[in-house]
């Protein structure tokens, strides 16, 4: 289990809860690489601006590093 909603709130944006969960899922399953997801986040979110990319990467890493 992971307190994804609490982590997202702590990052200041509850909308990134899915990125928190994705990070946790990637670490637990190893189905895709962390680097691959980070590159995909750049590709998907870069048109929305650097701040959005940074927030989503941070949320992903929070989930990935959760113990």
> Rounded mean pLDDT of 45-57?
95
Q: Please, which residues have CB within 8 angstroms of residue 62's CB and are 6 or more apart in sequence?
A: 7, 11, 20, 23
Question: pLDDT band for position 51 (50/70/90)?
Answer: very high
Looking at residue 10, what is its pLDDT? 98
Looking at residue 18, what is its pLDDT? 97
Q: Quick one: which of 20, 4, 3 has its CA closest to 55?
A: 20
Residue pointed to by tokens 């590709």: 43
pTM here is 0.93
Question: pLDDT band for position 57 (50/70/90)?
Answer: very high
Q: How far apart are CA 46 and CA 63, in angstroms?
A: 21
* Structure-block tokens of residue 51: 């701040």
């Amino acid at each position: 289990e992971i307190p994804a909603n609490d982590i997202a709130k702590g990052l200041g944006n509850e909308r990134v809860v899915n990125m928190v969960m994705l990070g946790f899922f990637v670490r637990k399953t190893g189905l895709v690489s962390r680097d691959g997801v980070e590159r995909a986040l750049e590709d998907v979110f870069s048109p929305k601006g650097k701040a959005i990319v940074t927030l989503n990467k941070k949320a992903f890493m929070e989930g990935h590093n959760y113990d």
